[in-house]
A and B are shown apart, each in its own frame.
Chain A
């Protein structure tokens, strides 16, 4: 996010601005909302701001799931797409 000139932030103190601009959570939420706007435009949902906020909030809650997956060592493991299960007895 490019840093706007300080005179364009009349309602925010510099400290408040810096806290927001460099807070990864806020940054990700904005990225998510930007992504949602693109999806909204492509699919024609006509989502309200309130709906967008709700979906972004739920998406944020799901981020932990991706983190969990990324922590597993999958080196040498191929995706399991079709189960060809055999008994292991």
Chain B
């Protein structure tokens, strides 16, 4: 195998070849590490590269496979981990100055399960400061660049994970998603990003303060839907270490991959998402819905009466919960936050306690409205977000899409979080899959949302769409990045 083969590799295609001994995990890891060495100076996707431990893990994997102890489809597969998931002896910064030198003495549960599955951890990926933003413009660890256009952000907060997968610097990454932090960067980088049902994947070992208790999820970023199902299979399940994890039995997440979808019904939420469809997004989304219809899926417009209130619920709940986690550092190291984040935390300290409770009560109203909606549809589809803005536009807080001016932030957070955060509030499983490219050549994501714990249905529809649309075959041109010096 050579480097030029890597861009087209998937876990699904690679696993049988690793199992049969045709491909050596040691050689594969070496190739990926060389690629990370070439591309990372230009993309800044990884904040810590674990070359030595990755090579050691690969040697162990190779020996085990040679002796007939094949562990499963992730055995020998190079992956990465977002830098807010605890890794034993490896610095875990949470994208913050405060934790810049923290080396935990324990692993997050997902890290433990991935190690047990034989995956090779190539390193820790860059993220937005404390995972509290959607750009991955990080004042302490640098800006991660979008592999499709290095002048643009990769999205966030799991921007390093998305850039690493999109540039084939690893085959999967684990991110966290409290408002869209897996799905938005996946959409902006043209890959697959899954936020499972709330509680489906243990959040034990996540850096406190990098996601709100009520809305945080650990998720998966991969190149294809089937790869996503394979990774979810390993990390899903109840964890006694996480009191918020769900006891619901796990499913076989590949069971519906490749199945037809003509007996399934699509729900659409008009008004709320129409306001978010600027530029090419509306046209591309409509084409994606037509494609689903051509696969035999019927569609129905759904009514969620309090849809417009969801961002308010999210803002109040998540910011009140998060600032509680930051109390110690706000008292002791306040000026080690970026000014923007410090001000946001201070503002959250002014929230009336009653508003938090009201928001949680409104959350129940909204959750019940979705329960009703899901009686009439198997999945809901929406666009994910606008195409990735440039880094310069993010600093101005304004972008222009096909001449249309769009403010990138307001009191509710980033503009592109508005498409994804509803399902952090409700906890439904939601995936982003590439559904086309803007006129400026930037990927756009389609969000497919399912009933609680019905990830298999979400993956089924996403796979059917992906197979029919074939967007996953388009790859970013990385020649310029490889030739560039550190950005």
Contacts and interface: CB of A to CB of B under 8 A. Distances in A.
A39 B334 CA distance: 13
A74 B363 CA distance: 10
Interface string A72-89: 111001111111011111
A69 B374 contact: no
B374 A78 contact: no
Interface in B326-378: 330-331, 334, 339, 342-344, 346-347, 349-350, 352, 355, 357-365, 367, 371, 374-375, 378
B50 interface: no
B360 A85 contact: no
Nearest to B355: A66
Given A65-B311, A72-B362, A87 B454 contact: yes
Contacts of A81: 214, 360
Contact of A65 (B198, B315, B342, B349): B315
Nearest to A73: B365
A55 B347 contact: yes
A64 interface: yes
Interface residues of A, number: 37
A51 B309 CA distance: 29
A81 B412 CA distance: 21
B452 interface: yes
Interface string B185-219: 00000000000011100000000000000100000
Contact of B360 (A62, A66, A79, A89): A79
A33 to B, nearest CB: 10
Nearest to B244: A82
B345 to A, nearest CB: 10
A23 interface: no
Q: Is the interface of B mostly helix, strand, loop or mixed?
A: helix
A85 B371 CA distance: 10
A10 interface: no
Nearest to A79: B360
A85 to B, nearest CB: 3
B362 A61 contact: no
Nearest to A71: B309
A49 B374 CA distance: 50
B331 A66 contact: no
Interface of B: 197-199, 214, 244, 246, 248, 306, 308-309, 311-313, 315-316, 330-331, 334, 339, 342-344, 346-347, 349-350, 352, 355, 357-365, 367, 371, 374-375, 378, 410-412, 427-428, 451-454
Given A32-B350, A69-B312, A85-B248, 6 more contacts: A54-B343, A55-B346, A69-B358, A72-B362, A74-B361, A83-B198
22 contacts: A39-B346, A43-B346, A43-B349, A47-B346, A58-B343, A61-B411, A62-B411, A65-B311, A66-B312, A68-B308, A69-B316, A71-B309, A80-B364, A80-B367, A83-B367, A83-B427, A85-B246, A85-B248, A85-B427, A85-B453, A86-B453, A88-B451
